[in-house]
Amino acid sequence: MIVTPYSAGCGALVSGIQLATLSDNELTELRAAFAEHGVLFFRDQDFPPAQHLEFAERFGSIVVNKFFKATSEFPKIAEVRKEKTQQTNIGGGWHSDHSYDDIPAMGSILVARTLPATGGDTQFANLAAAYDALSPLLKKRIANLRAVHSNEHIYGENGVYRHTDLAEQLGGMDRVGDATHPVVITHPESGRKVLFVNPGHTIQFEGWEFTESRTLLDELYAHVNQPQFTCSFNWLPGSVTFWDNRCTWHQAKNDYQGQARLMHRITLAGSALTAG
């Protein structure tokens, strides 16, 4: 297995393995690479849905997303679909998956099934590197804060997706909810401190006024969204991406209007978060 950094501060490309036929030793190596880099990219994988499922179950335990449609054959595989005629895409703004749950998802494994001729990259950000680079003053300001993470403003009755052409493929409107988490967590595998807030789901700091929260959150978001902490993955047939939701953000570019794109996603369960 060869693991090479994908960009200066974000992700790694893993080559020389097939996820569908990974040996136990390779799985151990992969776990270490995953803990070190937070997001792994794979090319040229022969990885049908049954093998996607099998790999996910070897790595951890699966959680099913409340809002996305599943594939007809595999209820644990979610479809991330955009039709030719559709304008809005899923995950078009920076977020981490399931941070609105009390125990957020550990990771997501995304597999390309139908790709546009050009465009449709997924971008990632490294929240451990971003935390390390915060000024001592900002680190001090956020040290003991907690933040509220919600999905209601996205998937709820008046959420941003409800009045778009994505609405008909989403369910679970009545299952929205929120959770609070430490703003700085210690990553359970790497032991690194991580900035655990994201633009998609974090709505405010616990006990703070909304506008006050907004100002500091926007400052933190602008800090993360810099070239030294981010990268963009261009999908090709056979590409797979596996990211850790506790220490990365991602967003799907919506720059391929008039073309279809279909990805398969499996989400893996996490463990309770620890304050950093």
Answer yes or no whether residue 244 interacts with Fe ion by CB under 5 A: no
Q: Among Fe ion, ligand AKG, none, what does residue 122 contact (CB within 5–8 Å per kind)?
A: ligand AKG
Residue (of 54, 49, 44, 43) closest to 21 by Cα position: 54
* Residues 29 to 58 in contact with Fe ion, rule: CB under 5 A: none
Strand partners, 147: 181, 205
Mark out the alpha helices in the chain (DSSP H runs): 24-37, 49-59, 127-132, 136-142, 152-155, 210-224
Residue 99 or residue 213: which is nearer to ligand AKG going by CB?
A: 99
Report 78-97 residues binding Fe ion (CB under 5 A).
91, 97
Q: Would residue 223 show up in a list of annotated catalytic residues for this protein?
A: no
Of residues 134, 66, 69, the one with CA closest to residue 97: 66
Residue 265: name its binding partner from Fe ion, ligand AKG, none (Cβ under 5 to 8 Å by kind): ligand AKG
Q: Tokens standing for 149? A: 């993470």
Burial call 27-62: b when 16+ CB within 10 Å, e when fewer? eebbeebbbebbbbbbeebebebebbbbbbeebbeb
192 is catalytic: no
Helix %, strand %, coil % for the chain, to 5?
25, 30, 45
Decide whether 181 or 265 has the Cβ nearer to ligand AKG.
265
- Select which of 95, 187, 201, 264 is catalytic: 95
Q: Which residues bind ligand AKG (CB under 6 A)?
A: 80, 90-91, 97, 108, 110, 122, 250, 252, 263, 265
Helices and strands of the chain, counted as H and E runs: 6, 16
Q: Residue 149 binds which entry of ligand AKG, Fe ion, none, with Cβ cut-offs from 5 to 8 Å by kind? A: none
CA atoms within a 13 Å half-sphere pointing along the CA-CB vector of 14: 27
Catalytic choice (37, 181, 264, 265):
265
Q: CB nearer to Fe ion: give 105 or 194.
A: 105
* 163 annotated active-site: no
Q: Could you confirm whether 43 is annotated as catalytic?
A: no
Instruction: Determine the size of the site formed for Fe ion (CB under 5 A).
Output: 2
Binding site residues, Fe ion, CB under 5 A? 91, 97
As annotated, the active-site residues are: 95, 97, 250, 265
